[in-house]
Amino acid sequence: MRNILISFMAVLLAALSAGAVPAVTATKIQSDAPRIDGSLEDAVWAQAIVISAFSQRDPVHGAAPSESTEVRILFDDEQLYVAFRCDDSAADDIVANHMQRDADLNENDSVSLILDTYNDGRGGYFFSTNALGAQRDGKLSNEGHDLNEAWDCVWACKAQRDSAGWSAEMAIPFDQLRYTEQSEAVWGINIGRTIRRKNEEVYLLPSPQEYGFGGGYRTSRLDTLRGLGALRASTPFEIVPYTQASSVRDFEALDTEADNEVNAGFDIKYGLTPSLTTDFSYRTDFGQVEADEEQVNLTRFSLFFPEKRDFFLEGAGIFDFGERVSRRGGSISPSTLLFYSRRIGIQEGHNLPVLFGSKLTGRAGAYEIGVLNMTTDAGTFIDEVEEERFLTAGNVLLEEDDPRLDSSQIVDTLDVDVLDTLYAKQANFSVVRLRRDVLGRSNIGLIALNRDPGEESDYNRALGADMSLSLLDAALSVRSFVAKTWSPESSDEDMAGLLAIEHRAGDTETSFSYLDVQENFDPEIGFVPREDSRRIKSSFRYRPRPSTPWIRTFSMGPRITYLMDQGGTLQTRDVELSIFTNLEIGDWIGVRIRDRYEYLDGSFDIHEEIEVPAGEYRFTNVGLNLFSNDARTVSGRGSVETGQFFDGTRHRVSGELRLKFSGRLALESNYEINRINLPDGNFTTNRLTSRFLYSFTPDFYVRGLLQWNSADELVGGNCLLNYRYLPGCDLFLVYNQAWDTEGGTQQRSRSLQFKLAHFWNR
């Protein structure tokens, strides 16, 4: 009996130890710090404890990895050092074709590190590299749902390949991280590795598969990092002065001579406390920002363009207010944003100089704080636009010029070029945001916004409160907000509110939301494409993992949207059913069927001289989508959509081809064509976007962008050279060119810019 009991206890202890994750311990360096070259040959690494207890997240959750991975963590008073050893039984097949900073290293064999320095599961810092030593970093928020890659840490990273696999080293300065001082620091940590050719992901602590594609970023389930002792929390002081010379020529302006300028400015980052940082910017420059990707608008609503300017992107998560769209979701258009930073410094397509900007972000105890203040300069812009004139007996006039004009008097119409002048006033923009942690990983918050052009008759203000609850170990999410706007001409019906619920359980995901936007709700520094609306939206996804060896997952289910005006009249009904198949080789195949109802209370121009009349429309279309594995040297994606469109038809085809060579050269081209047939006329739109990237080293690259949009009769080109000669220090050379394709090809604008920015910290 005694032997049986001993055997039982031994088996039980073995089972418990097999399911447990060993403690992650950092070791204080007792000698010189390692040289960061990717080789792991420095003897100091022998002082570190080896971390090797990894397990799969994909394809088989909890299974042993197919390849061995070892990680070591050291630290001194200045930096945290992390070494990765990735053995590979087929080292020649390692996928490594990205070298640029912040490239999507998920497409490569890569390693990643998450540090939750507050150990609260709400967010953290993300670092990743591949076998070429490319650097990718970002700040995680919202339990890892959002990854903000505009945050650029000044850190070191190198990697090397050999016949048995590859290795990498990271050195992360403590003064680049925010944390609170403790007698014994304890951080959250997760470490991951991707073996791309096998589509295998392994982690120290793998998140559940039902968390979806971004589950590897989740901070709600992390191991703990110990051994750091009493870390001294530093307050940063960084200065980045810049000088910039530019030559801009507008061929459509009254004065077509080149405008040559030399400017200077600076950015300052100063830590008020170890967890609260201020940023100051004088004459903020965005010349190196890539141009917006062209879009074709076949709706009656405004297009959404994502923010690309680093000053607004860094720390942007605190200012989020509205219906959430993941920051890893690209340019998906949100339905309601109380703060849309592109309203600052950009007006009707023109860039306004930002004279001064300041920002306060960080934490104070249980509170997360964000304050933003920007001042834009005045400007005058003159554009040549085409307007329609009506020819009557002896008169040429606009229709609105004479209310007595009768259509029977019009004998002809003609298009004329006129000058349209935009007078932009100097304006100040302010945002104050406060969030308080409650109930573990939940929060409640307030936000206040103000746009002030200096005139009492032209202000716009907004105030809102929101709540985000994370319940049942993050399986249930409940979010809500209520907001109100004010302006000199404001009246009642100027509020908006949202209730959204999401639930994940095993292979299923269910969501429901109700959004109410009143008729006069108008946040002028927000994004609200549809006022006077009440929208109900629900969706259900089922993601089984079949036993079929060549299929990894299915994803299927409906999505239903029902939108009314405030009077209860149905405006939009959208029912979509889709099924996608993820093959074991990494490719995707999907089919979707969509049935829509639209009520138009007024006509709208969908294309030049073609309008969709007011009325009721019901139309159905089907689509086929194909996505190949992006890890391949040659990859691509394509989609075909066909069916009814209002009272006509629409046929859409799009395709993308991507080529990646040896990590240095990458080419990408995307083409979309729409053929629209309507009773009022037929038209075709074409959109082409082509990119190239050549990386000399991870710190020196040149990239180019060429775009053609037939709907806007525009061809645009952009070329940027970036050399990071020291960590945080950049040299930029940027060339932009635009052509007008109406009636031939004519130059629209041309610019050349040189910028030098130097990073200094104490």
| Cα–chain center distance at 493 | 32
Supply the pLDDT for residue 22: 56
CA distance 485 to 30: 59
Count of structural domains within the chain: 2
- pLDDT level of residue 384 (50, 70, 90 thresholds): low
Specify if 404 maps to a domain.
Answer: yes
Supply the pLDDT for residue 332: 61
Count other Cβ atoms within 10 Å, centred on residue 646.
Answer: 20
The more confidently predicted of residues 337 and 11 is 337
- pLDDT level of residue 419 (50, 70, 90 thresholds): low
Q: Using CA atoms of 116, 118, 120, 126 in order, give the dihedral in degrees to the nearest 10.
A: -20
Supply the pLDDT for residue 20: 47
> Minimal CA–CA distance to 126: which of 33, 118, 135, 134?
135
Supply the pLDDT for residue 330: 44
Domain that holds residue 412: 386-421
Supply the pLDDT for residue 383: 62
CA distance 136 to 107: 13
> Minimal CA–CA distance to 481: which of 469, 492, 502, 497?
497
Specify if 217 maps to a domain.
Answer: yes
The predicted-structure confidence for 694-710, as pLDDT tens digits, reads as follows: 999 888 999 999 999 98
CB-CB contact of 536 with 511 (8 Å):
no
Contacts of 563 (CB under 8 A, 6+ apart): 530, 533, 534, 535, 536, 570, 571, 572, 573
Q: Is the dihedral of CA 602, 603, 606, 608 positive or negative?
A: negative
Supply the pLDDT for residue 491: 75
Contacts of 494 (CB under 8 A, 6+ apart): 484, 485, 486, 518, 520, 521, 522
- Does residue 12 have a pLDDT over 50? no
- pLDDT level of residue 10 (50, 70, 90 thresholds): very low
Q: Which residue has the tokens 């053929």?
A: 675
Give the domain-ending residue among 226, 260, 283.
Answer: 226
Specify if 597 maps to a domain.
Answer: no
Specify if 753 maps to a domain.
Answer: no
Q: Using CA atoms of 308, 310, 314, 318 in order, give the dihedral in degrees to the nearest 10.
A: -50
Supply the pLDDT for residue 399: 47
- Helices of type H across 427-567: none
Q: What is the mean pLDDT of residues 347-360?
A: 81
Output the CA–CA distances (angstroms, integers) from residue 35 to 38, 41, 173, 333, 584, in the order listed: 8, 9, 14, 45, 40
The reply to whether the predicted model has a pTM over 0.85 is no
CA distance 494 to 301: 20
Supply the pLDDT for residue 658: 94
The predicted-structure confidence for 253-302, as pLDDT tens digits, reads as follows: 777 788 898 989 999 999 888 889 999 998 877 766 777 788 888 888 88
CATH of the domain at 44: 2.60.40.1190
Supply the pLDDT for residue 329: 41
Residue 380, burial from CB neighbour count under 10 angstroms (0-12, 13-18, 19+): exposed
- How many CA atoms within 13 Å lie on the side-chain side of 743? 0
Enclosing H/E stretch for 14: helix 2-19
**Which phi and psi (to 5°) does residue 436 adopt?**
-120, 135
> Minimal CA–CA distance to 600: which of 611, 612, 610, 614?
614
CB-CB contact of 149 with 82 (8 Å):
no
CB-CB contact of 412 with 451 (8 Å):
no
Specify if 212 maps to a domain.
Answer: yes
Contacts of 655 (CB under 8 A, 6+ apart): 636, 637, 638, 639, 670, 671
Beta strands in 196-327 (DSSP E): 200-203, 223-226, 237-250, 259-273, 276-284
Supply the pLDDT for residue 11: 35
The predicted-structure confidence for 182-225, as pLDDT tens digits, reads as follows: 888 999 999 999 999 999 999 999 988 877 777 788 888 899 99
CA distance 335 to 537: 12
**Which phi and psi (to 5°) does residue 417 adopt?**
-90, 125
Output the CA–CA distances (angstroms, integers) from residue 485 to 462, 479, 680, in the order listed: 4, 20, 39
> Percent of the chain having pLDDT more than 90?
57
- Does residue 404 have a pLDDT over 50? no
The pair of three-digit structure tokens given for residue 677, joined into one six-digit string = 């047939």
Supply the pLDDT for residue 51: 94
Supply the pLDDT for residue 314: 78
Supply the pLDDT for residue 2: 46
The predicted-structure confidence for 542-553, as pLDDT tens digits, reads as follows: 999 898 889 999
Of 457-461, 533-537, 604-608, 728-732, least confident by mean pLDDT is 457-461
Specify if 44 maps to a domain.
Answer: yes
**Which phi and psi (to 5°) does residue 678 adopt?**
-130, 155
Give the domain-ending residue among 421, 448, 476.
Answer: 421
The reply to whether omega before 353 is within 30° of 0 (cis) is no
Contacts of 20 (CB under 8 A, 6+ apart): none
The predicted-structure confidence for 82-125, as pLDDT tens digits, reads as follows: 999 999 999 999 999 898 888 889 889 999 999 999 998 888 99
User: Parallel, antiparallel, or unpaired for β 223-226 and 24-25?
Assistant: parallel
| Type of residue numbered 161 | R
- Does residue 562 have a pLDDT over 60? yes
Q: What is the mean pLDDT of residues 576-602?
A: 95
- pLDDT level of residue 348 (50, 70, 90 thresholds): low
Supply the pLDDT for residue 8: 36
> Minimal CA–CA distance to 340: which of 306, 290, 296?
306
User: Parallel, antiparallel, or unpaired for β 79-87 and 69-75?
Assistant: antiparallel
Count other Cβ atoms within 10 Å, centred on residue 544.
Answer: 13
Specify if 730 maps to a domain.
Answer: no
Q: What is the mean pLDDT of the chain?
A: 86
Give the domain-ending residue among 206, 226, 246.
Answer: 226
Contacts of 625 (CB under 8 A, 6+ apart): 580, 588, 589, 590, 591, 592, 637, 638, 639
CA distance 306 to 304: 7
CB-CB contact of 745 with 729 (8 Å):
no
CA distance 655 to 295: 15
The predicted-structure confidence for 439-494, as pLDDT tens digits, reads as follows: 878 999 999 999 988 776 788 999 999 999 988 877 899 999 999 999 887 778 89
CA distance 666 to 704: 11
Specify if 65 maps to a domain.
Answer: yes
CB-CB contact of 287 with 121 (8 Å):
no
Of 9-18, 691-700, 737-746, least confident by mean pLDDT is 9-18
- Does residue 53 have a pLDDT over 80? yes
CB-CB contact of 651 with 675 (8 Å):
yes
3-state DSSP call for residue 567? coil
3-state DSSP call for residue 199? coil
Supply the pLDDT for residue 597: 97
CB-CB contact of 121 with 141 (8 Å):
no
Q: What is the mean pLDDT of residues 121-137?
A: 93
- pLDDT level of residue 409 (50, 70, 90 thresholds): low
CA distance 155 to 350: 36
